[in-house]
Amino acid sequence: MSQTSQASGNPLLDFTDLPRFGEIRPEHVTPALDVLIADAEAAVERASADITPASWADVVESLEHATEPLSRAWGVVGHLNAVADTPELRAVYGENLPRVTEFWSSVGQNLKLYEKYKTIAASPAFGDLTVERKKILSNSLRDFRLSGAELPEDQKPRFAELQERQAALSKAFSDHVLDATNTYAYIATDKAQLAGLPEDAVEAAREAAERDGKSGWKFSLHFPSYFPVMQYAEDRALREAMYRAYVTRASELGPQYGNGKTDWDNTSVLAEQLQLRAEEAHMLGYNNFAEVSLAPKMAESPAQVIAFLDDLAVRARPHAEKDWNELRQFAATELRLAELQPWDIAFAAERLRQQRYAFSENEVKQYFPEDTVLKGLFKVIETLFGVRIRKDEAALWHPDVRFFRVENQDGTLVAQFYLDLYAREGKRGGAWMDDARARHRTARGTMQTPVAYLTCNFSAPVGGKPACFTHDEVITLFHETGHGLHHMLTQVEELGVSGISGVEWDAVELPSQFMENFCWEWDVLSDMTSHVDTAKPLPRDLFDKMLAAKNFQSGLGTLRQIVFSMFDMKLHTDFDASGNLNANDLARAINERYHVIPQAAFSRWPNTFSHIFAGGYAAGYYSYKWAEVLSADAYAAFEEAAKASNGSVLDVPTGIRYRREILEVGGSRPAMESFKAFRGREPNIDALLRHNGMVPSGDAAH
């Protein structure tokens, strides 16, 4: 009997169904990990023992079944740390992070285990394995090499130290960003400062101040509070104060919050991360960390990525220059802003949008109440992929969280997902999908259905009205749901390549960015809008204005993403983190070369670039643009089907083919093979350029 079964009173050790969120406490974490790590270590010892046959069942399968409970339990703890942070949970997470990291490092460096995998791959039995199992073996052999299994024994302790220290630094980076975001508050006491702000933003600020026992209006650096100020507030001093606080978070220039706290500065944290990554790369025989990062990705080399970004920058720059010149001229003539400062840009852009297209984002927002949006999203999924989505019951970590089930038409369960939509203190910013558990066939022979977390940071309901989402937030919801569908609709039964597992990181954004396209279709939006006050659907003329404005400043937006991507790639190729220049110096140099908008001298945005310092995208941020080529081209198949039939982009045969060739296969084959199986050819960039309004006029008919 395993230790796991002997300690089932601990909710983190109960794997019979969904996590028991209502019962999990910080004091459960360490005892659960004591058991789970011991069980996993025993399994590793058995699998790597000389007497254990080098077979799939005795090595790979037994190891997966023994380590999956550890992954699931630690995933629950990590999830709670991201969405329900408390000092106690943060402390116990930090205490146990080195233990978990050390275990996985030891597995990756286990030479005996590595030899077992190599023996299986070289044996006659390899030919009888399924495609999925062959892919798992191939991925595992690569991962063993990247984990240092082939290093001399005297170097392995140092390599393990690198992994543990990097995990600790990643957590510290994330904690600093969250603390700096949570702690800052701007309290407005003069109602005149609120001029221009939408009513729901004002009401949310009043309620926030009231919760703190203060009079006036409280604005925070959480995006639903921060961005309406930047976009609508006529008070330029308010915009400047908020902007400066936002772009100096977690830096030496960040507000001191009146208590002298300075240990949230991420400058040294990210510098040490870069140094350790470079050391890791050199130990493994690579020139730089970018080469390590790209080893399991579609892109073949840093040079290929840089060339891709350079090419896109050249295509986007004329459009960006036109966008910027128009904005500056508008600001000077219409807003009397002779010099456009960084805290003026979002404000001026929104005013220009309103003048040019005769609508505001806030006007559109009133047509997207939460329940109507979800109904429309679910209709798209149900129509295209032949499933049904229903409300379901589960223990939750916060009252605002909702839970749903995905069913086949006959009612059989396909998957389930948690939906956590609103920003709040103690919740990490941004939006993401994560897996609570993956689809696979268990040791008992039963099929474990997948469960996903879909997490966003939208505005919560205020003033007794339902939550309403901006169109950008609707797009974000569709994006994260696309990731969720990739995880939930897989038909693969092997853990290592089920859902998003085993998918190349620069292809993992294909299903997410693909879903965004439906947010620009009239026959989709007409079914997912209902004005929060009048219940009337989105008027067609307002949609036409939105469509006309779709690529408003898309050139500037593209260059902004290229700056992020190029900064990330250069940071991990030829940048010396121990030299005279720091990461912020590099960021300014990259911005000066690639962007048309100057960067504020005091900006410290790298200090909050959690994607690459705390989110797994190191030397991988380019993936968003790389995968956008794939996703735009994939969506073009739906556009072509609609044109051919003079019907809707919700084309069922194309949707079923997309589900079969992209979503269901997960990571069981290379992403390029999946794309070609769906599209019938390799991808090209034409659809991406067209969707972004960057097709040269001479090419418009193609």
Condensed to tens digits (0 to 9), the pLDDT of residues 345-369 reads: 999 999 999 999 999 999 999 999 9
Pick the closest to residue 298 from 682, 694, 578 (CA basis).
Answer: 682
Query: Which of 502, 382, 507 has its CA nearest to residue 435?
Result: 502
The span from the CA of 83 to the CA of 453, in Å, is 11
- Do 132 and 668 meet the contact criterion of CB atoms below 8 Å apart? yes
Q: Give the ranges where 233-301 is alpha helix by DSSP (H).
A: 236-247, 267-283, 289-294
C-alpha–C-alpha distance, residues 297 and 669, integer Å: 13
**Intra-chain end-to-end CA distance of the chain, in Å:** 66
Q: pLDDT at residue 545 above 50? A: yes
The per-residue pLDDT for 700 is 31
Question: Please, what is the average pLDDT of the chain?
Answer: 95
Rg (CA), the chain: 25
Rounded mean pLDDT, 55-80: 97
Reply yes or no on whether the pLDDT at 181 is more than 80: yes
Q: Does 3 score more than 50 pLDDT?
A: no
Q: Phi and psi (nearest 5°) for 409?
A: -60, -25
Taken in order of first residue, the domains within the chain and their CATH numbers are: 3-150 (1.10.1370.40), 184-247 (no CATH), 370-495+509-536 (1.10.1370.40)
Query: pLDDT band at residue 63, thresholds of 50, 70 and 90?
Result: very high
Average pLDDT over residues 404-416: 97
pLDDT tens-digit profile of 457-478? 999 999 999 999 999 999 999 9
Contact 439, 448 (CB under 8 A): yes
| Residue 370 token pair | 């939460």
Catalytically active residues, by annotation: 480
Is 4 a residue whose pLDDT tops 50?
no
pLDDT tier for residue 5 given thresholds of 50, 70 and 90: very low
Burial of 168 (0-12, 13-18, 19+ CB in 10 A): middle
Q: Average pLDDT, stretch 265-272? A: 96
- The Cα 211–Cα 479 span in angstroms is 32
Q: What pLDDT score was predicted for residue 654?
A: 98
pTM over 0.75: yes
Task: Report the share of the chain in percent with pLDDT over 70.
Answer: 97
Band of the pLDDT at 260, cuts 50, 70, 90? low
- Taking residues 159-185, what's their average pLDDT? 96
